[in-house]
């Protein structure tokens, strides 16, 4: 076997540039496969983590499209229908409800600029986010604002500074800075609940109600109770996850298609490279058979060349994905809806083994025809060929 490897490697190095291009093609295909597996695992894990950090088991919102509800929950959105603060009190009194907190979140549309998500909060809202660390104080008065620390740093602002909300003729004093959370919370502007309601002409209204349950096994009973209220629907966190994954399926199908095409092109590249190598060494193969090489020897030699090409490309593709994951991630975010802010690419050893096995299988399949063709050459005709 070691002699086969030596001869196969020597043959591949005869045409180094062609070998390099073939390995590069395989690396691209395997890199895409490896990155896609990492994305599939990372997306769901990040989505679950982001939903868990909302601090609620379910949300009550005005009846409407579940996709719009997902947009509201994950990244804010323009809200046309509200719930009343009275609904908060009603839900809080329902059986198996530990707590219910009204939330106000809406999108401030800025013409010719970046839209701003406004989050109205009170003491109960802060209590729903125990993982937060706010440097400074909570709201001092109606003109207080809490900014994410990353956002304030980018604008050169600090505690006590003046923040001017675009499109609103009002100045706000920064009472606190929210330390980086690594979630969508780092993108919102936090105002007192009454102030946020005033800005959007929605006094006494909330966009959603965060609900904490006493017993998660009775979630359906709470859903039924909540939806017995007029024009109110209940959304569990599992439903939000399912909706986001459904929306992602189209992008996922597109990525799957691209991966399949890349792998097929890689296989054709390997087959073409090995076939050319066989044609170039026809006389050599004929001489080998003339001095006693069997068909199995020729098949083994050609197949080993194919597998070496594929495995080399597989290793290179995996290393490229590991090294360039941070560069790939922004491209993926640009084509999928409701991307969570956690790591979208999560790598593990299982993916490495699957990718290497795929590269090995690619080499075996792509090298099958050239190996069989080479083994069937007639020694005398091969020797006489030019």
Q: Among 105, 74, 58, 87, which residue's Cα sits nearest to residue 211?
A: 58
Which range (69-73, 113-117, 203-207, 213-217) has the least confidence?
Answer: 69-73
Residue 266 has pLDDT above 50, yes or no: yes
Q: Among 198, 140, 199, which residue's Cα sits nearest to residue 174?
A: 140
182-191, 193-202, 215-224, 240-249 — which one is most confidently predicted on average? Answer: 193-202
Query: pLDDT tens-digit profile of 135-164?
Result: 998 899 999 999 999 899 999 999 999 998
Residue 131 has pLDDT above 70, yes or no: yes
Residue 10 has pLDDT above 60, yes or no: yes
Residues of the chain with pLDDT > 90, as a percent, come to 10
Nearest-angstrom CA–CA distance, 188 and 118: 6
What was the pLDDT predicted at 251?
A: 61
Buried b (16+ CB within 10 A) or exposed e, 78-95: ebeebbbbebbebbeebe
Confidence of residue 67 (pLDDT cuts 50, 70, 90): very low
What was the pLDDT predicted at 4?
A: 56
Residue 352 has pLDDT above 70, yes or no: yes
Which range (32-46, 55-69, 95-109) has the least confidence?
Answer: 55-69
In this predicted model, which residue has the larger pLDDT, 91 or 167? Answer: 91
In this predicted model, which residue has the larger pLDDT, 50 or 109? Answer: 109
Q: Look at residue 376 and give its three-state secondary structure.
A: coil
**How large is the average pLDDT for residues 14-29?**
80
In this predicted model, which residue has the larger pLDDT, 13 or 357? Answer: 357
What was the pLDDT predicted at 343?
A: 62
Instruction: Enter the pTM of the model.
Output: 0.54
Query: pLDDT tens-digit profile of 281-314?
Result: 777 777 777 777 777 777 777 788 888 888 888 8
In this predicted model, which residue has the larger pLDDT, 26 or 254? Answer: 26
Q: What is the dihedral angle through the alpha carbons of 30, 265, 295, 380, rounded to the nearest 10 degrees? A: -140
Query: pLDDT tens-digit profile of 84-121?
Result: 888 888 999 999 888 888 888 888 877 666 778 889 98
What was the pLDDT predicted at 381?
A: 60
Average pLDDT, the chain: 77
In this predicted model, which residue has the larger pLDDT, 59 or 11? Answer: 59
Residue 225 has pLDDT above 70, yes or no: yes
**How large is the average pLDDT for residues 209-234?**
83
Residue 37 has pLDDT above 70, yes or no: yes
**How large is the average pLDDT for residues 240-256?**
63
Q: Among 41, 34, 9, which residue's Cα sits nearest to residue 314?
A: 34
Q: Among 211, 212, 163, which residue's Cα sits nearest to residue 191?
A: 163
What was the pLDDT predicted at 322?
A: 79
For the chain, how many helices (H) and strands (E)?
13, 12
Confidence of residue 192 (pLDDT cuts 50, 70, 90): very high
Residue 339 has pLDDT above 60, yes or no: no
**How large is the average pLDDT for residues 206-219?**
81
Query: pLDDT tens-digit profile of 229-245?
Result: 888 888 776 666 565 55
DSSP line for 77-130: ------EEHHHHHHHHTSTTEEEEEEEEEEEE--TTS--EEEEEE-HHHHHT-T
DSSP line for 121-181: E-HHHHHT-TT--EEE-S--STTEEEEEHHHHHHHT--TT-EEE-TT---EEEEEEEEPP-
Nearest-angstrom CA–CA distance, 179 and 200: 27
Q: What angle do CA 328, 339, 107 make, to 5 degrees?
A: 130
């Amino acid at each position: 076997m070691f002699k086969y490897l030596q001869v196969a490697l020597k043959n591949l190095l005869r045409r180094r540039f062609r070998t390099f291009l073939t390995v590069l093609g395989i690396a691209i295909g395997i890199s895409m496969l490896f990155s896609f597996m990492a994305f599939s695992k990372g997306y769901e894990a990040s989505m679950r983590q982001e939903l868990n950090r909302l601090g609620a088991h379910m949300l009550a919102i005005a009846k409407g499209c579940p996709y719009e509800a997902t947009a509201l929950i994950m990244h804010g959105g323009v809200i046309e229908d509200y719930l009343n603060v009275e609904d908060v009190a009603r839900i809080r009194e329902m059986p198996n409800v530990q707590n219910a907190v009204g939330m106000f979140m809406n999108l401030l549309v800025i013409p010719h600029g970046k839209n701003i998500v406004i989050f109205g909060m009170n003491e109960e809202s802060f209590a729903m986010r125990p993982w937060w660390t706010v440097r400074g104080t909570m709201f001092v008065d109606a003109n207080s604002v809490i900014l994410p620390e990353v956002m304030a740093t980018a604008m050169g602002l600090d505690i006590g500074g003046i923040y001017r909300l675009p499109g609103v003729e009002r100045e706000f004093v920064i009472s606190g800075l929210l330390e980086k959370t690594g979630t969508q919370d780092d993108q919102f502007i936090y105002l007192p609940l009454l102030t946020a309601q005033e800005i959007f002409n929605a006094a006494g209204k909330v966009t959603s109600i965060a609900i904490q349950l006493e017993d998660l096994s009775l979630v359906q009973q709470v859903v039924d109770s909540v939806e017995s209220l007029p024009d109110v629907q209940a959304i569990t966190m599992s439903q939000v996850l399912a909706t986001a994954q459904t929306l992602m399926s189209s992008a996922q199908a597109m990525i799957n298609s691209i991966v399949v095409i890349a792998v097929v092109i890689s296989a054709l590249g390997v087959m073409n490279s090995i076939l050319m190598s066989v044609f170039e060494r026809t006389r050599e193969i004929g001489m080998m058979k003339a001095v006693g090489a069997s068909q199995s020897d020729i098949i083994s030699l050609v197949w080993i060349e194919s597998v070496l090409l594929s495995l080399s490309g597989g290793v290179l593709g995996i290393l490229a994905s590991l090294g360039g994951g941070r560069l790939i991630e922004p491209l993926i975010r640009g084509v999928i809806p409701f991307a969570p802010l956690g790591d979208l690419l999560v790598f593990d050893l299982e993916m490495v083994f699957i990718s290497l096995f795929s590269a090995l299988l690619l080499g075996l399949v792509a090298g099958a025809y050239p190996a069989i063709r080479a083994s069937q050459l007639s020694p005398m005709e091969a020797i006489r060929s030019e």
